[in-house]
Amino acid sequence: MMKKFIKWFMIISFIILALALGGLGLYISSIYASAKAMEINEDELSSSALSIRVFDSQNKPIKEDNEINHAYASIDTLNDYTKEAFISVEDKTFYTHNGINPKRIIKAGINNFKSHSLKEGASTITQQLIKNTQLTSEKTYKRKIKEIALAQKIEKMYDKDELLEFYLNVIYFGNNCYGIESASNYYFSKSANELSLEESCTLAGMIKSPAKYSPIKNSENCLNRRNLVLKEMQKDGKISEEEYTIAKEKALSLNLNKTKINKLNSYSQASIDEAEKILGIPARQIAIGGYKIYTYQNEEKQKALENALGRQDIDADYAGIVIDNEKCAVSAYIGDSTYKILDAKRQPGSCIKPILVYSPALNEDIIYPCTQILDEKVTISDYSPKNVGNVYRGYISAREALSKSINVPAVKVLSYVGIEKAKKYAESMGLNFDEKDDSYTLALGGMTYGVNLTQLAGAYTTFANNGIYKAPRFVSFITDKNNKLVYINKTQGEKVLREDSAYLMTDMLKTCAQSGTAKKLASLDCEIASKTGTVGKSGSKENLDAWNISYTKDQTVGVWIGNLDNSPIRYAGGNQPTEVVKNYFTEYKDDSQFDRPDSVVEKKIDGIDLNENHRILLANHFTPDRYTQNELFSIFNLPSDISNMFAEVEKIKINSRVENNVALLEFEAKDFETYDFIVDGKVVNSISGKSGSQKISIPLTSSKEDIIVENYYTLTPDNKVTQELSFVKKEAKAKEKWYI
């Protein structure tokens, strides 16, 4: 019976497997046949000059150059080693296959099955050409089948040299360079037909991952990849052993074309980069497809930002951004560098403190703005933070520590919150951390990779938006060539902080703009919060990055100055970046006001206890105003203890002795108390407004003298404490002696 069951089980399983494979085969065949019937868009293969239409918030065209593939390289003008470099590293059998390489497809399929992903594509040059010009970049098996079918079809339409020419003129080399002619002009300031062997191999190596193998950003990766291409050419017999040996020893050459750099960091280019991610297609296909990109650019703000940066003679890379807080929309952007600034991450320095340290501490009810923190030399978990100039100030409020950007208190507060919890707050505000970012250096901006300007400025919008974070966006909506809406920004906000915590953070940063490191903004006629950041070069007094992030109720402005090649700069966050922000708000008037929520209240605290004992105690009914401080608190985190200062006066302790018929009295005074010394109903000495150790002398005129001591709060003299000191002189045979 069991054998019969097993027999039928095997038969049924075989039938099911056969049907499944048959169904899969039919599915694949239908996709393949459908793809074969598709028309090849020949314009997409050879269009040499394309541009994308980008519009501002008023639907007016943004007049910034974003031309794609203006320069075109004919295959017969290129050196043989230039063509062979790409073939050796990308598709060794290019001249013999019919569009696909079955062995590579099978191998990639097995590896993808094992890894449960589509990481390996095994694409030939022909397949890459199809992917870049005829299909989307989605990683699905369906798209892969279409790619194979169309690759075989196009092989019958063009010869190999034509296909290679199309390919070399559409592939992406990073930094807005589509095609080898554009890349050669940008990276080496020469035409593609003038490329050396090493330069050809550099470009051929880059296309696998333009960011990872960038000669600007990742020169070591690029050099290793270039040498790998050289080795493949030597193995394929395209260059000799001697040529390989000489070429691999040469340094990485780079001669950036400055005339092509400006459009890299334009508003329209940032919008196109965002549109590529939204649509899942490269910029060239966006241009060919006739898509129109509508952005949030505000013409007036863009001009004000450009003028603000233009007034500074900046001898370094720089960028500025303006974000509309309510929409979390980028209203203006400008940058100047040899590399796309928004693709680069930099160390944020002290600008991370409000995001990672102080706002989480406020939201977790760990600190008040007036909390006293001991600024001292300290070691926490093997980390010993240092203040600028090795200056330590003793007890200081969290507000002042932040506004003056003092390091030790920030590290201490991070230790109160906890690194992991603090990182979760910052991640909810758009910052990303590497797994190695797990030390207290984070409090001072010490990250493995850092942040870009949009991320950092975007995080600050959380404070202006009552604790709600939305990722900033350049693109409002996109239409196709028929003006049909294909995308509209509907970014949803996330509640990160309570509104009381967000407001208290803003209030602390307003102090920074008035009297802290951003005090250059104090003269502005607007309500503004600000934070600066300066990143120093390890082991030297030179700087690498200078930041200022400032915001009003309506808008956030971020400015960065540095060099993406990490050469030092002569700027600091409180200087030029802050001056740019000041210039911007001087030109673009902003009268918006921060709204204090009902969950934030003002309370009087005991200033004496705060300064002497570093405790936060509510002032009592008797405390004179001059000894109180008005501070802001969340109703969810109010001080619970009330000071007994001025409710009752403490009797002072007096040390006394007699010398030469003079009473010598010593005691500790407080500057808010008055001390009267009375003999025979008359005040013979009085001390007021002094603090610390006091010494007085009172002559003793009789053998028994009583000194009355009264002490009271100077502003409330009716509430007194009285004590009596009696001095008695007795005469002995040898000498006189006073008894107290």
Residues identified as active-site: 90, 350
Q: How many CB atoms lie within 10 A of CB 59?
A: 10
Contacts of 9 (CB under 8 A, 6+ apart): none
In degrees and rounded to multiples of 5, residue 656 shows phi and psi of -135, 155
Residue 336 CA to residue 342 CA, distance in Å, equals: 11
* CA dihedral of 256, 257, 258, 261, whole degrees rounded to 10: -90
Q: Per residue, what are the HEC states of 461-529?
A: HHHHCCCEECCCECEEEEECCCCCEEEECCCCCEECCCHHHHHHHHHHHHHHHHHCCCHHHCCCCCCCE
Q: Which residue in the block uniquely carries the two structure tokens 């094992």?
A: 114
Size (the chain), residues = 740
- Map 387-450 to HEC letters: CHHHCCCEEEEHHHHHHCCCHHHHHHHHHHHCHHHHHHHHHHCCCCCCCCCCCHHHHHCCCCCC
The crossing angle, in degrees rounded to 10, of helices 80-90 and 219-235 is 100
Question: Token digits for 570?
Answer: 């002569």
Residue with tokens 């030399």: 377
Angstrom distance (rounded) from CA 334 to CA 589: 19
Query: Who contacts 238 (Cβ-Cβ below 8 Å, separation ≥6)?
Result: 80, 81, 84, 85, 88
CA–CA distance, 170 with 173 (Å, rounded to integer):
9
Q: Alpha-carbon distance 322 to 302, whole Å? A: 8
Measure Cα distances from 471 to 427, 474, 573, 667 in Å: 11, 10, 24, 62
Phi first, then psi: what are they for 615, rounded to 5°? -110, 150
Q: Compute the CA torsion angle 671, 673, 679, 682 (nearest 10 deg).
A: 100
The dihedrals phi and psi of 521, each to the nearest 5 degrees, come to: -85, -5
Cβ of 10: how many Cβ atoms within 10 Å?
Answer: 10
How distant is the alpha carbon of residue 293 from its chain centre?
26
Alpha carbon distances (Å) from 696 to 345, 347, 660, 684:
66, 59, 14, 11
Binning the chain into helix, strand and coil, the percentages to the nearest 5 are 40, 20, 40
Contact call for residues 410 and 373 (beta carbons, < 8 A): no
Going 61 to 452 to 580 to 369, the CA torsion angle's sign is positive
DSSP structure string for 612-656: HH----B--TT--GGGEEEEEEETTS----B--TTTSPPPPP-EE
**DSSP conformation class of 602:** E
**In whole angstroms, what is the distance from residue 683 CA to residue 670 CA?**
19
CB 546 within 8 A of CB 561: yes
How far is residue 208 from each of residues 121, 123, 211, 214, measured CA to CA in Å? 12, 11, 9, 11
Count of Cβ atoms closer than 10 Å to residue 689 Cβ:
11
